[in-house]
């Protein structure tokens, strides 16, 4: 990391999550003063923070009051915390945790001109019929139709922030909403059913079991050919770190590779990383998610590239190999796939 970091404390919410914990590790290694914020105790996910010293660890419910008391010490807020379960049906819960919480942090960051970087999502694009362009134009955003309440909560936050800016209420000198595509990698043990396919099938492959992928329920996609823009977490955090080092920034930015790959590709890469012969069968997709399922995502990366925020050091195969090597403790394999 060569970017100059802001002076003062850097607040990271969702600190014990996949992206948040990796950001903390990267920023800590570069001497930043960090405050972690999450609902769980740090000790619950101690493996994520081995060797990492934080200035403080806060519960989200205590954050706003703490920020008010310590406003002069804060340099930036990196807000990665959210309810990210795409099957969540409690809209009030998502409004409170994903929308209102983010907008409260936005208001404080604007008032104090703290750098404010937050997690949006590729789920805002819905089926992708409007494309996957990270536009800041409110008319363009109005055309997006997310497929689930999680996606809507992220979309409503993006629109609220850009509406306030359009109305002349101002913004921090440096702010960005990152539309993360499908991030996978170390430190997702806590995510349960929302873990990446790699993490789900690795123990199955190790046990010699058949891996099951969803059958396609659309005639234009073969079984297992449903595709996503999969991005390795080491590449996904890099744009956030780069953005943090900028004096001036503003807008929504896609965080993806720009390339769609199938779930079958991802499974085959996992088999290959374990040097195992692939055995795959296809099962029906649960009916409760069929109408909320994206069959294709691929980030438009032009805007991120123009701002120097695009990073794609790992191919799908390299990212999966590095992740599998991390999970299996194979340091030699990690060195071989490092970019």
Alpha carbon 204 to chain centroid distance?
A: 25
Query: If DSSP states are collapsed to H, E and C, what string results for the chain?
Result: CCCCCCCCEEEEECCCCHHHHHHHHHHHHCCCCEEEECCCCHHHHHHHHCCCCCCEEECHHHHHHHHHHCHHHEEEEEECCCCCCCCCCCHHHHHHHHHHHHHHHHHHHHHHCCEEEEEEEHHHHCCCCCCCCCCCCHHHHCCCCCCCHHHHHHHHHHHHHHHHHHCCCCCCCEEEEEEECEEECCCCHHHHHHCCHHHHHHHHHHCCCCEEEECCCCCCCCCCCCEECEEEHHHHHHHHHHHHCCCCECCEEEECCCCCEEHHHHHHHHHHHCCCCCCEEEECCCHHHHCCCCCCCCCCCHHHHHCCCCCCCCCHHHHHHHHHHHHHCCHHHHHHHCC
Q: For residues 77 and 114, give the distance between their C-alpha atoms in angstroms, rounded to a whole number.
A: 7
Q: For residues 6 and 139, give the distance between their C-alpha atoms in angstroms, rounded to a whole number.
A: 34
Indicate which residue of 125, 150, 310, 314 is catalytic: 150
- 293: annotated active-site residue: no
- 191: annotated active-site residue: yes
Q: For residues 111 and 123, give the distance between their C-alpha atoms in angstroms, rounded to a whole number.
A: 29
Residue 107, Cβ density class (10 Å: 0-12 exposed, 13-18 middle, ≥19 buried): middle
Instruction: Give me the active site residues, please.
Output: 150, 191
């Amino acid at each position: 990391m060569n970017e100059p970091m802001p002076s003062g404390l850097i607040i990271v919410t969702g600190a014990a999550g996949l992206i948040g914990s990796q950001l903390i590790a990267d920023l800590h290694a570069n001497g930043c003063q960090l405050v972690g914020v999450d609902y769980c105790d740090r000790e619950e996910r101690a493996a994520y923070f081995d060797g990492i010293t934080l200035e403080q660890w806060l519960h989200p419910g205590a954050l706003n009051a703490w920020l008010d008391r310590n406003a002069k010490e804060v340099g930036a807020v990196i807000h990665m915390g959210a309810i990210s379960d795409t099957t969540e049906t409690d809209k009030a819960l998502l409004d409170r945790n994903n929308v209102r919480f983010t907008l409260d942090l936005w208001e404080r960051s604007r008032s104090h001109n703290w750098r404010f970087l937050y997690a949006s999502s590729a789920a805002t694009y819905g089926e992708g019929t409007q494309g996957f362009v990270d536009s800041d134009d409110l008319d363009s955003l109005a055309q997006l139709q997310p497929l689930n309440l999680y996606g809507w909560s992220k979309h409503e936050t993006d629109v609220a922030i850009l509406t306030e800016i359009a109305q002349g209420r101002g913004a921090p000198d440096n702010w960005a909403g990152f539309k993360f595509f499908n991030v996978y990698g170390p430190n997702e043990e806590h995510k349960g059913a929302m873990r990446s396919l790699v993490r789900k099938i690795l123990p199955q492959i190790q046990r010699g079991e058949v891996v099951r992928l969803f059958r396609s329920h659309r005639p234009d996609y073969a079984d297992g050919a449903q595709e996503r823009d999969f991005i390795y977490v080491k590449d996904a955090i890099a744009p956030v770190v780069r953005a943090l080092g900028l004096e001036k920034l503003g807008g929504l930015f896609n965080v993806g590779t720009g390339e769609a790959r199938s779930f079958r590709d991802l499974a085959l890469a996992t088999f290959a990383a374990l040097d195992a012969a692939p055995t795959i069968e296809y099962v029906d997709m649960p009916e409760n998610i069929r109408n909320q399922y994206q069959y294709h995502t691929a980030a438009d990366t032009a805007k991120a590239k123009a701002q120097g925020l695009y990073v794609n050091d790992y191919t799908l195969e390299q990212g999966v190999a590095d992740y599998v090597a991390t999970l299996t403790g194979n340091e030699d394999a990690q060195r071989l796939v490092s970019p």
